[in-house]
Amino acid sequence: MFFFVKGLEEWTQSIPLNDRYPFLSIGKKIFLSNFSTALGIAIQIMLLNIVMVFVNSKIEFSSLLGKNLVSFFISVSISFINIVFITNQIKEPILKISSMVEQFGKGVLSIKIALPNRDEIGLMARIFDEAIKNFAELIKKTKSSSELMNSASGEISSGSQDLSQRTQEQASSIEETSATMEEITSRVKDSATNINKIVELTNSSVIKIENAMKELETIVVAMNEVNNSSKEIRNINNVINDIAFQTNLLALNAAVEAARAGEQGKGFAVVATEVRNLAQRSSDAASEIKNLIDRSTNMIEDSNKRIEEFSIVITEFHEQLTTVKESMDKMQSSISEQEKSIEEINRAILQMDQVIQQNAAFVEEMAASAENLSAEADALAQMVSFFKVDSSMKNSNNFAMKQTTPKKPTPTGLVPYSEAS
Amino acid sequence: MDYKKKLFIYVLIAMLVPPSGWIFNLWFTGLARGETFLKVLMNPIQVVYFIIATSAMLMFFLSRLNKIEYYISQGANNNEEAAALISRMPYYFIIGEFLYNFFGPMSGMLGVPHFEIFDNFLLGEILALPNIFLFLTPFFVFFC
């Protein structure tokens, strides 16, 4: 019967225990086994005596004692077998678990208890197996993670060194750019100053040209007035010429009349001659005046024409100068914007410089952190290598040897807990 | 030998031990001696009962063991059903053995004049008790 139980347990080992279908505890097993065996012995001996006395009330004492002894030995033998089996059922799994725990303490994770028992010990063994399996998985993952961490931190370290170098190059480029920008800024400022001067000069020129144009208009008006005056003088001259002609005629008439008057008219004839001479001189003077006025009029007209032409030239010059002024204004505002843009660029370059400096500092910190990480990964790998997950795994290095000195086993093959820990 | 065959043989042994123990107790206590003992030993009713009961028990367990074998071959698909069946196996056994041990002495004593006396019959019947306590209960306990 015991063999049946053991065989069934071994056979159904792959089927996990289930909480819905509970089993007896070890304590109950021991109690029921011992109680049942004791009760069986008691009943066996009691029944033997009852039946023997019932069958033969005059049975001899020696016969009764002998049969009782035989029955006792048979019952005790069966009880002994029962007790041995129940003891072994508890002792063997515990010894096996202890042995496995000892192996586990030495870092061997490729162990499996795999007890077939369907009681608390079996459950404990299965939980322990599961825990070791999970722990072995964890250690495997930790090993591979530490290797990955190591290689990754190496890459980070070399990458950060490259980055640091590039950042330094970038910083020097930024410094050069900053110097160039400062030069450009000073040149643009000079240009702005020159442009301002030119604009001022242009404004001044425009104002002067405008003043000149006003003066020119005044001259034109004055010339027109002179022209008008010449025309009036010509009219007056014509009147004087007419008066001279009339006076000449009157002087002729007076001379004729004086001739008629004879001696008495001689004096009058002299006066008439004088008047006629005066008239002649007036006429001559008027003719000269007329000629002068004509010349003046011609000269004025000629001057007017020239002034008009000059006025056109001045106007064109004014327009061109205005265009130049507008262009200069635009240039001025453009240079002003350029100055602002250059200031912004300078600020941006300054910020970039600061950022690059910060990046350089950060990269150095990162490189240091990567080196620390690499060292930590190495240490982790060394610590994890204490556990032997798989026989094909390498790196079972000296760490385990250093950490676990061989322990003297107890007679049961177990290492004392205090020593193992 | 695979586990199923082994277990099958163990059930067969479990069916052979109680009658042997009971017959031994009859002889050893002196309740049945001589001709009476031979009559009990050769009782055809007892032989027929033994054959039928043992066959029924073996067939029943064979069907259960086949089911367990099927569950094992299915892997983790039927773990719950398998666990339920395994947990019921000791109850099947203890009930079967109890009935077998209760009716077994009756079949052995039936038709034997000596056991037509009630006291003899009663003593013969209770002589099966040590079988239950010394064999069947420990089996149940160890199995669980």
Q: What's the mean per-residue pLDDT of chain A? A: 81
User: CA–CA separation, B95 vs B60, rounded Å?
Assistant: 12
What are the sequence ranges of the domains in chain B?
3-21+44-143
At residue A17, φ and ψ (nearest 5 deg) are -70, 150
- List, as ranges, residues 271-300 from A with C-beta within 8 Å of B: none
Distance from CA of B36 to the nearest CA of A (A): 13
User: CA–CA separation, B129 vs A41, rounded Å?
Assistant: 10
- List, as ranges, residues 103-162 from A with C-beta within 8 Å of B: 118-119
Cβ neighbours of residue B131 closer than 8 Å, sequence gap 6 or more: B17, B18, B21, B22, B101
Residues on chain B touching A14 (C-beta within 8 angstroms)? 72, 75
pTM above 0.80, yes or no: no
- B134 and A40 within 8 Å at the Cβ level: the answer is yes
- A48 and B72 within 8 Å at the Cβ level: the answer is no
Q: What's the mean per-residue pLDDT of chain B? A: 83
What does the pLDDT look like over A292-320, one tens digit per residue?
Answer: 888 888 888 888 888 889 888 988 998 99
Considering only CA atoms, give the Rg of chain B: 18
- B84 and A18 within 8 Å at the Cβ level: the answer is yes
A and B: number of Cβ contacts within 8 A: 149
Given CB atoms, is A79 within the 8 Å cutoff of chain B?
yes
What does the pLDDT look like over A235-250, one tens digit per residue?
Answer: 888 898 898 889 888 8
Q: What does the H/E/C string look like for chain A? A: CHHHHHHHHHHCCCCCCCCCCCCCCHHHHHHHHHHHHHHHHHHHHHHHHHHHHHHCCCCCHHHHHHHHHHHHHHHHHHHHHHHHHHHHHHHHHHHHHHHHHHHHHCCECCCCCCCCCCCHHHHHHHHHHHHHHHHHHHHHHHHHHHHHHHHHHHHHHHHHHHHHHHHHHHHHHHHHHHHHHHHHHHHHHHHHHHHHHHHHHHHHHHHHHHHHHHHHHHHHHHHHHHHHHHHHHHHHHHHHHHHHHHHHHHHHHHHHHHHHHHHHHHHHHHHHHHHHHHHHHHHHHHHHHHHHHHHHHHHHHHHHHHHHHHHHHHHHHHHHHHHHHHHHHHHHHHHHHHHHHHHHHHHHHHHHHHHHHHHHHHHHHHHHHHHHHHHHHHHHHHHHCCCECCCCCCCCCHHHHHHCCCCCCCCCCCCCHHHHC
Q: Under an 8 Å CB criterion, which residues of B touch A?
A: 3-4, 6-7, 10-11, 13-14, 17, 25, 28-31, 68, 71-72, 75, 79-80, 82-84, 86-87, 89, 119, 123, 126-127, 129-130, 132-144
- A7 and B10 within 8 Å at the Cβ level: the answer is yes
* Single-letter residue type at A35: F
What does the pLDDT look like over A362-373, one tens digit per residue?
Answer: 888 888 888 888
Cβ neighbours of residue B92 closer than 8 Å, sequence gap 6 or more: B60, B61, B64
Cα three-residue angle A128-A133-A139, rounded to 5 degrees: 120
- B142 and A54 within 8 Å at the Cβ level: the answer is no
Nearest CB neighbour to B130, from listed A5, A40, A85: A40
* pLDDT at A411 (0 to 100): 38
- A82 and B134 within 8 Å at the Cβ level: the answer is yes
- A36 and B133 within 8 Å at the Cβ level: the answer is yes
- With CA atoms as reference, the chain B residue closest to A20 would be B84
Given CB atoms, is A69 within the 8 Å cutoff of chain B?
no
What does the pLDDT look like over A164-212, one tens digit per residue?
Answer: 888 888 888 888 988 888 898 889 889 889 988 988 998 898 899 889 8
What does the pLDDT look like over A11-23, one tens digit per residue?
Answer: 777 777 766 665 5
Mean pLDDT of B21-31: 87
The interface predicted TM-score (ipTM) is: 0.78
Distance from CA of A90 to the nearest CA of B (A): 11
At residue A388, φ and ψ (nearest 5 deg) are -100, 95
Distance from CA of A135 to the nearest CA of B (A): 23
Residues on chain A touching B3 (C-beta within 8 angstroms)? 7-8, 10-11
- B31 and A119 within 8 Å at the Cβ level: the answer is no
